[in-house]
Chains A and B, each alone.
Chain A
Amino acid sequence: MEALTVKNITYRVAGRTLLDDVSFVLPRNKMLAIIGANGAGKSTLMRILCKELEPSSGSIDLCGRSLSSYTVAELARFRSVLSQHNTLSISFRVDELVMMGRYPHFSQQPSMMDYEIVHKALAETGMDSYSTRDYNTLSGGEQQRVQLARVMAQIYGQQNALLFLDEPTNGLDLLYQQNILQLARMMTGQGCTVVSILHDINFACQYADYILLLKQGKTIAFGTPNQVVTAENVLTAFQVSINQVEHKDYRYPLIFPALAPFPKNND
């Protein structure tokens, strides 16, 4: 059974078409990276997949059932979402915040298992020594890791779980960018399917099983990294020429932008 089946999704608002006939099928326990230039429709697609927006036409199936047939409460038990903006209006302690991930699973009081899961999620993101800190006093990177712990706790141990990440590496330094993607990768080994918007094409190639490349709401390519990330596709989607080099440590060639001609100084 497929984790996610997207058929002919189109989304129009105020006369503009933000997504145009997007389709793909994502098998279970795989990681999909959505890439594309600014305004390609990545976030819009993510919001539609998370039931935040209704598509104008098309259908989405989650684990063999239509997305629209789930209530938000049902979804929350096996699907969690890490958004891009994670400011707290009222400050909470780190462990209280991660416990919010368990809210869909208990009615009034958390069980021992919920506490255990919170503890594990904090340990896996390397934030266990911060558990009694005030969230608003943490640095941006630390906050992002705490939020990741929260969304991991939400779907911990669930079969057919789905994890959506909206630019999870934003604002993190190199080490934590790697850590977060490794954690996402690890989740796919534990019965979880991951969908992530990523900016860094190299990261997308190394960590994702599939890549969806969008441009102005249209699919440029969908498939495995070597099918999608070609010089031609990248030029079409990003208007940047690239060079590719092989390295023995990497599954796929690394890409980097070809040098743009330097502006001349005529003085």
Chain B
Amino acid sequence: MKNSIIFTALLLLLLAVSLLSLCLGAVRISIPELLSIIGHKVGFGSEVLFRPQQEAVFINIRLPRVLLGMLVGSALAVSGAVIQGLFRNPLAEPGLIGISSGAMLSAALLIVLEVPVILAMKAFLGYYALAFAAFLGACLTTWIVYRLSMRSGKADITTLLLAGIAINALSGAFTGLLIYLANDEQLRNITFWSMGSLGGANWKTVSTIVPFAIIPIAILPFFAKSINALALGEAQAMHMGINVHMLKRIVIILATLGVGASVAVSGLIGFVGLVVPHIIRMAFSSDHRLVIPASALLGAVVLVFADLVARTIVSPAELPIGILTAMIGTPIFIYIIMRERKKRFF
């Protein structure tokens, strides 16, 4: 199948899911009303078919939330695709190099510890303190994992994996300690944060995450060829003219930026980074020139859709989105494992 057809189909799917998500919810907006709001905002379309409340919901709540879903979903899926390529392991995901556990630990630190430094930070950053701390924690742990994997100036993938596992376990232990120390309210905050939500979406979060999500999505496709070659092995990729050392660094930095920023604004959302690239590989091809951009699109579709379900299924309450992605993702993942196994026996 031509790649352009796949991209067009995924774009149409994204458009459809986004429209659905923009229209559905506690305040319903029909398609004519939606078009009228957009027309009115852009400056043409004289007829006002909508109520002011609908306009407010659309502009201040739904639109930023859908955009945030797209950005976070794309960033998670693209990072997952390249990390799987880098580790030469289809079961790898960004969490492997400490991004998520680091974010989790520093989020827990911020929520639980009431020491002067943290209180000052909270006072200064206000609502964004948690996002800032999570992003910082994600970058810091990944940096430690990366440094630990260095051997004579070059990152060794096996050590990277082992260091990732070790640092993940250590951050997990400290997070556990903080959870043990937490009071009931803090415990509830930590738990909800760890299950993810796009509930914090507003124009400010969207504009903050834009560069962090767009840079990896825009740059990583240029390394698609190199990541393909890496599937053959590091030495083989080098023989094909690829600077493997630089490639590793770029992939790790960009994945950390994308996932770190996503986790910062939306908490932990699992399975998107793991499963979305697999669906693309299974359905079409393993060529990363397709997998990276197609994962970006499908990641956006999945997250916008999951968020739509999360905020409508138990309305007026909201289900944490991480629960949904795991519920949808796990069966798909098991299906992938089974299919792979069948292939091997062939």
Contacts and interface: CB of A to CB of B under 8 A. Distances in A.
A72 B89 CA distance: 25
B287 interface: yes
Contact of B240 (A74, A96, A103, A136): A103
A89 B287 contact: no
Nearest to B234: A52
B87 to A, nearest CB: 8
Contacts of A104: 240-241
A27 B228 CA distance: 34
A154 B286 contact: no
Interface size on B, as a range, is 20 to 34
Interface stretch (A28-36, A77-85, A193-201, A239-247): A77-85
Interface in B307-346: 343-344, 346
Interface in B231-263: 231-233, 235-236, 238-243
Contacts of A88: 231-232
Given A81-B236, A83-B235, A137-B346, A92 B241 contact: no
A76 B240 contact: yes
A85 to B, nearest CB: 7
Contacts of A80: 239-240
A73 B231 contact: no
Contacts of B90: 89-90
A101 B240 contact: yes
A72 B285 contact: no
Given A103-B225, A137-B343, A92 B240 contact: no
Interface in B58-92: 84-85, 88-90
B345 to A, nearest CB: 10
A117 to B, nearest CB: 15
A42 to B, nearest CB: 16
A44 B221 CA distance: 35
Contacts, number: 86
Given A90-B85, A90-B281, A136-B343, A100 B235 contact: no
A86 interface: yes
Q: Determine the interface band of chain A, counting residues with CB < 8 A from chain B.
A: 20 to 34
A181 interface: no
Contacts of B213: none
A172 interface: no
Given A83-B233, A83-B235, A86-B232, A73 B241 contact: yes
B274 interface: no
Contacts of A72: 238-239, 241-243
A83 B236 contact: yes
Interface in A69-123: 72-77, 79-81, 83, 85-93, 96-97, 100-101, 103-104, 108
B229 interface: yes
A50 interface: yes
A141 B238 CA distance: 24
Contacts of A90: 84-85, 88, 90, 231, 281, 286
B241 A76 contact: yes
13 contacts: A52-B235, A72-B238, A72-B242, A80-B239, A86-B232, A91-B286, A93-B285, A96-B286, A100-B228, A101-B240, A103-B228, A108-B222, A108-B225
> Which 7 A-B pairs have CB atoms at the shortest separation, nearest pair first?
A76-B241, A89-B88, A81-B239, A73-B241, A104-B241, A90-B231, A90-B286
